């Protein structure tokens, strides 16, 4: 077998580059000449733009893992282990995971074996005979068990997880075996966010017996699942998207490092203007008020509706984490100078605005409006949501500890 293997990288179905696997477990990404020379080329990632808006074409090779933009397309944690085991691929060998999972990646990207290309054995092991490209379609990035699914028009509104074939336009998030009621929690927080005025996708709680094709081996499941419409799938075709780990060129293991919310806000303000910046502030303040300590780099994304210009994606993964981690009020990233929600006050917000080069009035006014709306909606709706009493009590106890809650009321 040859010692070099090539995967074609396609954006909206058009080839834009190649990933090449070399001896010594090295991977190199290179753009195609046609893509480089196209003045109207669709945007792959802001991480490939230089300070003047030009395309970065000199990209460092990586060892064993694939470059950060591509590494962030792959699932993490238990989901990665599960899928790698089903595929017969070592979970650390990301080039081969992309080969297996490449036809149902987030956004408008797909990855295919190069025409006539053979997949070589690794330096220390052969790929099993039963491994084949695109045998699995559950490649959505993230740790929680979540799968791409089709809606069932004729099955009472249920969902089907495809065993094979490109996944559908819904994400199904199965119940956590570690924490009770996570789908119900996320459904409730996303519902409140939508009522406050944030952009959220269509969401539903689904009984497990209405989901067809739950893979074997995921363990015993209790409660309901959450179905979320995919904002990267439309009737007109896929919409490209990237998360902020990809924007900053950070590997998934560093999603809690290397950047602050002020850094994210600066990119959004630059790329998506005041409207995008205001939406970011709404979500950031809301996450602090509900005690969401898991808004890391991969839980913020951009979309490219016109294929070139970035906009903030709809919100996702809004969950109150304080009911599960007692006494923990630390955000996933620094707001600007601190991670402590108990120190997230108007002064910290002004510091964030200055660091992000955002208008201070826009930031403070948006935050104040968010606090007022949250106070009204949460008090009116918290008893009508599918939340355990303990979750409501945890949020009620946490919210007043965030200084903004009283300062901007």
How far, in whole angstroms, is CA 248 from its chain's centroid? 14
Per annotation, catalytic residue among 294, 317, 329, 345: 294
Beta bridge mates, 22: 26
253 is an active site residue: no
CA distance 204 to 190: 10
- Give catalytic residue positions: 294
């Amino acid at each position: 077998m040859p010692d070099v293997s090539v995967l074609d990288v396609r954006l909206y179905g058009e080839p834009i580059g190649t990933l090449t696997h070399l001896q010594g477990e090295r991977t190199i990404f290179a753009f195609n000449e046609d893509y480089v020379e196209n003045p109207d080329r669709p945007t792959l990632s802001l991480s490939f733009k230089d300070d003047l808006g030009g395309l970065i074409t000199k990209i460092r090779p990586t060892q064993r893992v694939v470059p950060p933009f591509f590494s962030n397309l792959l699932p993490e944690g238990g989901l990665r282990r599960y899928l790698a085991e089903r595929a017969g691929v070592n979970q650390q060998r990301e080039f081969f995971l992309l080969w297996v999972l490449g036809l149902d990646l987030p956004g408008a990207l797909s990855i295919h074996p190069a025409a006539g290309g053979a997949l070589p054995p690794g330096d220390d092991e052969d790929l099993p005979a039963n491994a084949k490209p695109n045998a699995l379609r559950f490649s959505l990035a993230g740790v929680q068990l979540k799968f791409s699914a089709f809606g069932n028009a004729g099955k009472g509104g249920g969902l089907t997880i495809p065993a094979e074939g490109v996944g559908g336009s819904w994400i199904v998030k199965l119940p956590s075996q570690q924490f009770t009621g996570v789908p119900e929690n996320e459904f409730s927080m996303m519902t409140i966010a939508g009522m406050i005025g944030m952009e959220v996708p269509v969401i539903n709680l689904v009984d497990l017996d209405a989901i067809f094709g739950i893979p074997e081996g995921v363990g015993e499941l209790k409660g309901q699942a959450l179905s979320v419409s995919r904002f990267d799938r439309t009737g007109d075709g896929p919409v490209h998207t990237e998360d902020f780990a990809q924007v900053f060129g950070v590997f998934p293991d560093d999603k809690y490092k290397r950047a602050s919310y002020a850094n994210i806000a600066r990119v959004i303000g630059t790329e998506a203007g005041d409207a995008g910046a205001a939406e970011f502030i709404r979500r950031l303040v809301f996450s602090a008020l509900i005690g969401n300590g898991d808004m890391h780099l991969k839980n913020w994304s951009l979309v490219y509706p016109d294929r070139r210009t970035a906009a903030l994606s709809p919100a996702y993964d809004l969950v109150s984490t304080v009911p599960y981690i007692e006494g923990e009020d630390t955000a996933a990233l620094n707001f600007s100078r601190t991670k402590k929600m108990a120190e997230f006050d108007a002064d910290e917000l002004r510091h964030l605005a200055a660091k992000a080069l955002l208008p201070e009035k826009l930031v403070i006014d948006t935050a104040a409006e968010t606090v007022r709306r949250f106070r009204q909606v949460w008090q009116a709706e918290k008893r009508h949501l599918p939340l355990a009493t303990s979750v409501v009590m945890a949020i009620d106890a946490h919210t007043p500890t965030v200084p903004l809650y009283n300062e901007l009321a």
